[in-house]
Amino acid sequence: MGRKPVAPVKVTEFDVKAFYKALVDTAKGDAPDGPVFKQKKSFAPSTIGYGHGKCPRYWYYAFGGTLFDESTDYKSKGRMANGTDSHARIQEVVSRTGYNILVEQEALNENPPIRGFIDIDLVDFNIPVEVKTTNDTNYRLFKASGHPSPSHRVQELIYMKIRGATEGLILYENKDTNEMHIIPILMSKRNEDFINGVFDWMKLVKSMIDADKLPRRGFEKGTYVCKNCPVAKACDAGDVGVVLIKPLEVPKV
């Protein structure tokens, strides 16, 4: 018995490369075409302890208002979207544990001006919970060491100080495995002294901004901090500065 002839595959005019380009272009979506003018009215807890957030000069331009270059590629946008989705999913899971919680609670402070949002508030215990997603390498490091990222610690301590909380939690999720791990943060004497110093630093920076005294550079041009600063162009074009305020020091542990 002979084989049946194989029907030839009908070739369409579909262009894979054109489809891929359309996919990527669409994924880029509504990314800004260029810098966008912004003016900050408060310090952001999520920014203070990381990169340009530790630079007084950044906050001078941010509070004064300038063009922010926060352009991101479609991959970065995807990672941010995944992080947002993960936060919402974890918040929903916690809401079904039986604990009395509130999500995305606004945290405000007048002097220095601070505005942020607590991911999960364990209401009955006055414990703010900060949710973070991270890659497998960092997740294993945080879990093994028992210490969170320094900037995450700053953010959590800011919320704790604003709320008068003695305990806080940082909940990490491994983006690769979805495993979760919690690192408790206590308002120890050491942490209290540290976060009081952070608040004093913000007060000093804001007082210089109010007096229109431009801080001098705390980081050299070309460093990682400056390369990734959204107000780098305004800073580079600005004057040398009239006051020296050291960048915020954030210990690793």
- Per-residue pLDDT of 157-206, as tens digits, reads 999 999 999 999 999 999 999 999 999 999 999 999 999 999 999 999 99
Q: What does the pLDDT read at residue 79? A: 75
Over the stretch 100-154, which tens digit does the pLDDT of each residue have?
999 999 999 999 999 999 999 999 999 999 999 999 999 999 999 999 999 999 9
Would you say residue 32 has pLDDT above 80? no
Portion of the chain with pLDDT greater than 70, in percent: 94
8-state DSSP, 215: B
Write down the pLDDT at residue 135: 94
Backbone angles phi, psi at 48, to 5 degrees: -50, -45
Q: How many angstroms separate the CA atoms of 238 and 232, rounded? A: 10
Determine the Cα–Cα distance for residues 147 and 142; give it in Å rounded to an integer: 5
Which CATH class for the 28-237 domain? alpha beta
What is the predicted pLDDT for the residue at 74? 66
pLDDT at position 35 is: 84
